[in-house]
Structure 1
Amino acid sequence: MALSIAQVSFEHHRTALGIAESTPRISWRFDGNASNWYQGAYELEIGRGGQADTFRVNSSDSVLVPWPSDPLQSGEEATVRVRSFGRQHADTPWSDLFTVEPGLLTEEDWQGAAAIASDRPTEEDSPHRPIYFRKDFSVDEDILSARLYITALGIYEAQLNGERVGDLVLAPGWQSYTHRHEYNTYDVTDLLRNGENALGVTVGEGWYSGRLGWDGNRNFYGDTLGVLCLLSVTTSGGTTTYIPSDETWQSSTGPIVSSEIYNGEEYNSTLEIDGWALPGFDASGWLGTLEIEFDKAVLAAPDAPPVRRIEERRLENVFSSGSGKTVLDFGQNVVGWLRVRVRGPRGSTIRFVHTEVMENGEVATRPLRTAKATDNLTLSGEEQEWEPSFTFHGFRFVEVDGWPEETELNADSITAIVIHTDMEQTGFFNCSNPLLNKLHENIIWSMRGNFLSIPTDCPQRDERLGWTGDIHAFARTANFIYNTAGFLRGWLKDAYSEQQENEYAPPSVIPNILGPTTGSSIWGDSIIAVPWALFQSYGDKAMLREQYPGAQDWIDKGVLRNEVGLWNRSSFQYADWLDPLAPADSPGAATTNAYLVSDAYLIHSTELLANISAYLSLTDNAEKYTHDRATLTRAFRTAWISNNGTVANETQTGLTLPLYFNLFATPSHYTSAVSRLRAIISANDYKVGTGFAGTHLLGHTLSKYNAAPTFYNMLLQEEVPGWLFQVVMNGTTTWERWDSMLPNGSVNPGQMTSFNHYAVGSVGSWMHENIGGLSPAEPGWRRFNVDVRPGGGLRSAEARFLSAYGAVEVRWWVVGGDGGNSRGCERFRMVVTVPPNTEAVVNIPGRVDGGSRGRKVVGSGVHRFESCLD
């Protein structure tokens, strides 16, 4: 295949309209299987203002290279194309043209636009009824281009001349609004008319002023719904006209009576206002607006892709519950809402209750706790199509009450709409074991459901918060499956801001709605571990530099220490949260000492900070934290490891952490500890004995010490607690508890019983790296490992990762018996695809010809390997 450039991106944006950077770094991805191809130079053609300039750079870099031209101005569009020159081989042709355009880079660029609210009383302790805003305006010249810059005090949908603006949902998403409040940029050129126009915006409470958390509190960021926007119109005469949000706008309420994140939406079709966002609409009965205080200094362009409708799921079954109620089954636990096509008596109401599972023949609402997850649609009397606007649900099953006889209830009348942050899927996995494939599919579905604006714990109950411990455990897996670079970079900016307000300790949830708190290990350590995992995947030193002050503050000032520098023994710790032996009503009652766990993670985080310091060329800091790590390790041994190498808590987690973090004193201690860990696992019938602290590291630890067969036995365990128990119990996402559903089909009696949590899905990284064999050998995947560990009875597997350089692929299979030859062994065969400008370090399992074990470093192209398995 001829070598070409398949994609050009800016910072971490595939679509670079309205970005925050005036000098965005540029990356390009290759397509084609050129053999041993390395870039020697590149050219960038930058087109702006009708003129194109070409910049040639002698460099092998093709990811996050510096912007070569003058800084872009607010709203200035540039076109970019790239071509690469091989060191000794063929050059690429020019890429397609890609556009990049910053948003509004200064407060002054907002041209006096103000945040406005409706001139009506504000609800204080009740749900905020969504507000409809509108503005008439005229454009008297031919339109060359138009941009709408918009955000809300709440979440919004915009219309221009009655047409929906863009395809974002729940915009602008959830940020730590007091520190970083995102706005969105839309190209609305094709929606404008020469003459009279109308701009309409509907705003719901969302996360801004809606209820958040299990205590029923609301109005965390403000108690008033509002909109802030600027429409910029450039005409053929060369002038730019601005239509800002101000007190000349009008406001009203409409058919959305309420729309809450937890409780759902109430929509009354009889209150619809025809043509309210069209020019010429009679708004004489509407209220005015008033300006409200808003600090434009916190406005920010998004780092992450937006939340969008991603997929539609057909209804699979309609059945009656045990009590005779109508229930819909979509066959998959999803996050989103329903689209309803219906006709029924005017004023009649349909009620939809969303749940993840059934229990005792009925929809199981108890795991929702106080969240109602209920939508109510009052019909217009005409045929209509409806979706909720400002809520979302986690569900597979929906109980329906009040469905009209006039419409048949089937897959044509109801569809499930799947939403999540629109990240690019980069990781793919398949193997010869169908149950493992289903497990991996479930992991992906849980990530999709919980990567919705922020990385949440669960998407269905009265929580849905950005728990830092969960993403700490899952980041390594997440970064393979989807491109999370922008998504997590934005969230980490909020994490740092919230940390500074919490006496240098990262709060347990980001954005923080739980108030001031002392830091705890693992959850607090995410301020170091998540940036480190991001850096391994994307090699972005700028992101690492952004997060470095927070990492230092946590280690230097945030950790509550005792006299030897380890964790204070009176500090609160989540530690090995949801250990499988923890009682249903006490999820933190783990079998491994909380301070053993916390001390181990403190040492690991100190080591990571030393590594980060080294990558950022902060030599003195790297030496300091390396020394601190050694001092803490000695203190850890004194506190937790006996002279003969025995750990105070000989549990799966208690042994995994000092093994993985290299905390033992002698080689014999490591050897003995691995043997004891394997024995404990075997005695437990290969069932999982770890919670949040140990689960994501258990498999990697066993592989590190050549005990991957032991972990294969655990991975393939179909009884509880184990990953495949959830699969054989017909789970379609990964669960919060190992036994969120008990073997008898009843729901765990504890409160923490979500059926869509990604933390235990962290096993995905072991599957990618050991069954698929793929991991970065250096940050950013320019050099990567291929290290397949066959086992578990698997006869074949394939893994694919779409790196910043191009597609990395491994496909392997085992030919049984003598494989048609006289060697009498099973033959392992593998095909590895290495993208241009990269190289792979390939470890070949078994014996290659000559009896040696194989390790080869190969450049780009397709490579084939074969060996004899012992």
Structure 2
Amino acid sequence: MALSISEVSFEHHRTALGIGESAPRISWRFDGHVSDWWQSAYDIEVNRGGHTQTFHSNSSDSVLVPWPGEPLESGEEATVRVRSFCPHRHANTAWSEPVTVEPGLLTPEDWQNAEAIVSDRETEVNATHRPIYFRKDFSLDEEVLSARLYITALGLYEARLNGQRVGDRVLAPGWQSYNHRHEYNTYNVTDLIQRGENAISITVGEGWYAGRLAWLGSRNIWGDTLGVLSLLSVTTANGTRTFIPSDDTWQSSTGPIISSEIYDGEVYDSTQEIQGWDSPGFNATGWFGTHAVKFNKTVLAAPDAPPVQRIKERKLENVFSSASGKTVLDFGQNLVGWLRVRVKGPKGSSISFIHTEVMENGEVATRPLRTAKATDNITLSGADQEWEPSFTFHGFRYVQVDGWPEETELNTNSITAIVVNTDMEETGYFHCSNPLLNKLHENIIWSMRGNFLSIPTDCPQRDERLGWTGDIHAFARTANFIYNTAGFLRGWLKDAYKEQLENNYAPPYVVPNMLGVNPARSIWGDVIVAVPWDLFQTYGDEAMLREQYPGAQAWIDKGVLRNEVNLWNRSAEQFGDWLDPLAPPDSPGEATTSSSLVSDAYLIHSTELLANISSYLSLSENAEKYARDRTNLTRLFQSAWISKNGTVANETQTGLTLPLYFNLFAKPEHYTSAAIRLTNIIAQNKYKVGTGFAGTHILGHALSKYDEADTFYKMLLNEEVPGWLYQVIMNGTTTWERWDSMLPNGSINPGEMTSFNHYAVGSVGSWMHENIGGLSPAEPGWRRFNVDVRPGGGLTSAEARFLSPYGLVQAKWVIVDGGKKKGCDELFKLAVTVPANSEAIVSLPGQPVRGRSRESSVVVRSGVHHFERCLT
């Protein structure tokens, strides 16, 4: 298969319309299995306004290479092609397919005289905000050559031009720390504009900006009025540019959406639909005017992340009656999104849809939702109609339907579940010979999908859905394998840093922060160091690491509350090993491991990571300083928590995992004995999980580090609670907040916090990828990667794939009968795929096959490589 360039991207954008960079870095992946191929040079061809330049570079770099020419201007389109060279001329690639890139509006001045406008209609400040409909007619005298719509909202928006929906984003512009970074979106609307009369129309709902958030019921956190800011830029055939800005010439009204709230759902009255309101020439008599409000355009930013979109459709699997006779829909999968309804019924009649994750006692289980209603209500028009909510979403598998009309059959044609999440590229794949582990991995993916909706949330169903920093700290290593999170987490981290500066240099518990100033806490605060480091390991983005460096420094130098010897202040409140399985249902922070021990261990780890980051950024003095700090803090930790014979003050699974994984013991023999004690504790606990947030995501890695992968296999395969497969055999289709969110008898855990869609315990995915699948980066960005399979757990085969910045990485293995010819009972056969311009370090288990594969570790370059080893 000839080598080709499969994809060209800019920064971390696969679709580069309206990006925020004027000189975006360029990356390309390779496709094809060419042996030992290494790039020696590349050409980048850039076409700007019909003028083409080719830039040559004698470099092996193919990821995030510098923009070769002059920076682009706002709205300037360029077309780019790339080709790569290697020392063997015949193996050079052809030119890639041309890809376009176009910045959005890079300065406040580029917005011309567009203003943020709101309706003149009076509203109740402390009540639910009814969505507002905005519109404006305009005319064009010439044929349209091109048109762009730049838009954001004080709330969430849907835009239309001449009766047609603009783009396929939903819940736009998403959720950001709006005071610091308020995203706008760019659309190519050339095909929607016409010569003559036109109309632009926009609906705005409250969303996160002004809606109710969290269990305290706070609302209007960033603003108390719904509005829109937009600029339509049209270039006509004669070269003239016409701007249609949002200003006080627009009109406004209300419409059929009575309310649409994040937690409570949407109320839609079809009898109040306004025919033609989004088309030219509409008679807007009776509509309200609009007026401008103060808006800081310096916080406007193009998105780093892909858009939130409708990703999948899920067919209805079953319709049944609840214990009380209610009609219930089952979609067979706990998902995040909403329903699409096709229905006809009597005019004025109403249907309600109550969304829940599970059933309990034969009824839809609403108690875990707490104060969230998660209910949509539609009043019918009397005609055939299709409806989806606009500004809400739900976490659900089951839906109770009340009021469904007899005129329409309730089936797969009338009801469909729409899966919604940020449209990240799926990069990871895992499969093995154990179907329960495959189901667990599938559940991990579904939980990530549902909780990566604009920001990384804790859960998607109850009155919370917040960007808890501790959760993503635990899960980032897994997330970065499954999906391309480079842009998604980069944008969120920008908000985290800004929020940190307003919270006494400590990252708040949730980002965006709607809880007010809160005290520093370990693990949750350590996110500002650990997540940039995890991102750097996967994508090798030094620019991202550099922009996050001040936040990492601020946390370690100023944010941590220290005692007299520079460890954590013992009086500081901590979440600690949150959701330790032995913690009471009503007190998830009461862990069996001291929160101070946990906090001190993470402080040392974060200090070490900061030293490593400083080194990668060539800040040698800082690297030396933080390395010294790490050494000094380790001695203090040993004095506080480890006896002279190496015993830890808390000999728990977490209490031993942290010093083992973070290298906190004083002597080599202490590690050996501590690893033995940890495995003994696990065995005594019948191989059940005994860790919470602090220990779970690194427990397996710690055991593998000390050659105890077999112990973790026994934990992973344990089907009793607390354990990962318990959730699978209890028919979970996502990962749960608590190990026993559902009790063995089918009842729901009595704790107030009981979600069936949390990704934190799915952090075990990273162990599965790296030990069963065998894949991990050997250096930041995957130019060199490890293939180190740890067979065990009775598995006879597995396959892991990762779409790295260089191309497809794959490890596929099987255990077969070696037979007399091979001289072994169990023969381990491994196939490794290495993409062009990268190399793999392959470590092989077992003993060499007679006369072959005598090395236990080998470095290979691009191509497909096969290995065999005797296991027994």
Q: Which amino acid in structure 2 is aligned with residue 675 of structure 1?
A: I
Report the alpha carbon displacement of residue 122 of structure 1 after superposing the two structures with TM. 2.3
1:856 is matched with which residue: 855, 858, 866? Answer: 858
Q: Distance in 1 between matches of 2:344 and 2:68?
A: 58
Secondary structure of 1:609's counterpart equals: helix
Residue of structure 2 equivalent to 1:29: 29
Contact 2:585 2:749 in 1 (8 A): yes
Q: Which amino acid in structure 1 is aligned with residue 842 of structure 2?
A: V
Q: Distance in 1 between matches of 2:31 and 2:637?
A: 49
Q: Deviations over 1:474-509 (max 9, x none)?
A: 000000000000000000000000000011010000
Q: Deviations over 1:164-197 (max 9, x none)?
A: 0000000000000000000000000000011000
Residue of structure 1 equivalent to 2:612: 611
Residue of structure 1 equivalent to 2:159: 158
Residue of structure 2 equivalent to 1:738: 739
List 4+ stretches of structure 1 deviating above 3 A: 849-853
Q: Distance in 2 between matches of 1:407 and 1:239?
A: 52
Q: Which amino acid in structure 1 is aligned with residue 806 of structure 2?
A: Y
Q: Distance in 1 between matches of 2:231 and 2:824?
A: 74
Residue of structure 1 equivalent to 2:589: 588
Secondary structure of 2:565's counterpart equals: coil
Q: Distance in 1 between matches of 2:634 and 2:844?
A: 35
Report the alpha carbon displacement of residue 108 of structure 1 after superposing the two structures with TM. 0.6
Q: Distance in 2 between matches of 1:848 and 1:291?
A: 76
Q: Which amino acid in structure 2 is aligned with residue 251 of structure 1?
A: S
Instruction: Tell me the TM-score normalized by structure 1.
Output: 0.99
Q: Distance in 2 between matches of 1:341 and 1:822?
A: 63
Contact 1:206 1:391 in 2 (8 A): yes
Residue of structure 2 equivalent to 1:868: 870
Report the alpha carbon displacement of residue 848 of structure 1 after superposing the two structures with TM. 1.5
Q: Which amino acid in structure 2 is aligned with residue 744 of structure 1?
A: N
Q: Distance in 2 between matches of 1:711 and 1:853?
A: 27
Q: Distance in 2 between matches of 1:470 and 1:391?
A: 23
Residue of structure 2 equivalent to 1:73: 73
Q: Which amino acid in structure 2 is aligned with residue 163 of structure 1?
A: Q
Q: Which amino acid in structure 2 is aligned with residue 593 of structure 1?
A: S
Mapping of residues 169-188 of structure 1, within 5 Å: 169-188=170-189
Q: Distance in 2 between matches of 1:335 and 1:212?
A: 18
Residue of structure 1 equivalent to 2:503: 502
Mapping of residues 321-332 of structure 1, within 5 Å: 321-332=322-333
Residue of structure 2 equivalent to 1:257: 258
Mapping of residues 351-366 of structure 1, within 5 Å: 351-366=352-367
Contact 1:163 1:191 in 2 (8 A): yes
Secondary structure of 2:40's counterpart equals: strand
Q: Does 1:655 align with 2:677?
A: no
The structure-2 alpha-carbon separation of the partners of 1:282 and 1:855, relative to structure 1 and needing over 3 Å to count, comes to same
Secondary structure of 2:518's counterpart equals: coil
Secondary structure of 1:419's counterpart equals: strand
Q: Distance in 2 between matches of 1:745 and 1:650?
A: 33
Q: Does 1:664 align with 2:644?
A: no
Q: Distance in 2 between matches of 1:822 and 1:861?
A: 25
Report the alpha carbon displacement of residue 87 of structure 1 after superposing the two structures with TM. 2.4
Q: Distance in 2 between matches of 1:203 and 1:664?
A: 57
Secondary structure of 1:242's counterpart equals: strand
Mapping of residues 697-846 of structure 1, within 5 Å: 697-816=698-817, 818-819=818-819, 821=821, 823-846=823-846
Q: Which amino acid in structure 2 is aligned with residue 392 of structure 1?
A: F
- Give percent identity, aligned residues only: 77
Q: Deviations over 1:200-237 (max 9, x none)?
A: 00000000000001001100000000000000000111
Mapping of residues 475-624 of structure 1, within 5 Å: 475-624=476-625
Q: Which amino acid in structure 2 is aligned with residue 171 of structure 1?
A: A
Report the alpha carbon displacement of residue 380 of structure 1 after superposing the two structures with TM. 0.2
Q: Distance in 2 between matches of 1:605 and 1:825?
A: 46
Residue of structure 1 equivalent to 2:60: 60
Contact 1:846 1:853 in 2 (8 A): no
Q: Distance in 1 between matches of 2:647 and 2:27?
A: 50
Mapping of residues 179-328 of structure 1, within 5 Å: 179-328=180-329
Residue of structure 2 equivalent to 1:103: 104
Q: Deviations over 1:355-382 (max 9, x none)?
A: 0000000000000000000000000000
Instruction: Tell me the TM-score normalized by structure 2.
Output: 0.99
Secondary structure of 2:167's counterpart equals: coil
Secondary structure of 1:694's counterpart equals: helix
Q: Which amino acid in structure 1 is aligned with residue 675 of structure 2?
A: V
Q: Which amino acid in structure 2 is aligned with residue 36 of structure 1?
A: D
Secondary structure of 1:39's counterpart equals: coil
Q: Which amino acid in structure 1 is aligned with residue 249 of structure 2?
A: T
Q: Distance in 2 between matches of 1:216 and 1:110?
A: 35
Report the alpha carbon displacement of residue 825 of structure 1 after superposing the two structures with TM. 2.4
Contact 1:318 1:328 in 2 (8 A): yes
Structure 1 stretch displaced more, 88-97 or 220-229: 88-97
Q: Distance in 2 between matches of 1:185 and 1:125?
A: 32
Q: Distance in 1 between matches of 2:247 and 2:612?
A: 50
Q: Distance in 2 between matches of 1:573 and 1:820?
A: 60
Residue of structure 1 equivalent to 2:399: 398
Q: Which amino acid in structure 2 is aligned with residue 226 of structure 1?
A: G
Secondary structure of 2:848's counterpart equals: coil
Q: Which amino acid in structure 2 is aligned with residue 46 of structure 1?
A: V
Count of residue pairs brought into register by the alignment: 869
Secondary structure of 2:712's counterpart equals: helix
Gaps of 5+ in 1: none
Report the alpha carbon displacement of residue 820 of structure 1 after superposing the two structures with TM. 5.4
Report the alpha carbon displacement of residue 88 of structure 1 after superposing the two structures with TM. 3.0
Q: Distance in 2 between matches of 1:379 and 1:819?
A: 71
Please report the RMSD computed on the Cα atoms of aligned residues, expressed in angstroms: 0.7
Secondary structure of 2:693's counterpart equals: coil
Q: Distance in 2 between matches of 1:577 and 1:793?
A: 32
Report the alpha carbon displacement of residue 854 of structure 1 after superposing the two structures with TM. 1.3
Q: Which amino acid in structure 1 is aligned with residue 825 of structure 2?
A: C
Contact 1:507 1:517 in 2 (8 A): yes
Q: Which amino acid in structure 1 is aligned with residue 35 of structure 2?
A: S
Q: Distance in 2 between matches of 1:122 and 1:205?
A: 12
Contact 1:845 1:853 in 2 (8 A): no
Residue of structure 1 equivalent to 2:16: 16
Report the alpha carbon displacement of residue 126 of structure 1 after superposing the two structures with TM. 1.1
Report the alpha carbon displacement of residue 819 of structure 1 after superposing the two structures with TM. 3.4
Q: Distance in 2 between matches of 1:667 and 1:178?
A: 50
Q: Does 1:44 align with 2:44?
A: yes
Structure 1 stretch displaced more, 819-828 or 688-697: 819-828
Secondary structure of 1:791's counterpart equals: coil
Report the alpha carbon displacement of residue 824 of structure 1 after superposing the two structures with TM. 3.4
Contact 1:477 1:762 in 2 (8 A): yes
Q: Distance in 1 between matches of 2:809 and 2:577?
A: 35
Q: Which amino acid in structure 2 is aligned with residue 315 of structure 1?
A: L
Q: Distance in 2 between matches of 1:734 and 1:526?
A: 21
Report the alpha carbon displacement of residue 853 of structure 1 after superposing the two structures with TM. 5.2
Report the alpha carbon displacement of residue 852 of structure 1 after superposing the two structures with TM. 4.9
Q: Does 1:83 align with 2:89?
A: no
Secondary structure of 1:335's counterpart equals: strand
Contact 1:717 1:725 in 2 (8 A): yes
Report the alpha carbon displacement of residue 84 of structure 1 after superposing the two structures with TM. 0.2
Contact 1:107 1:297 in 2 (8 A): yes
Report the alpha carbon displacement of residue 821 of structure 1 after superposing the two structures with TM. 2.8
Q: Distance in 2 between matches of 1:55 and 1:573?
A: 54
Secondary structure of 1:141's counterpart equals: coil
Gaps of 5+ in 2: none
Contact 1:830 1:864 in 2 (8 A): yes
Contact 2:824 2:871 in 1 (8 A): no
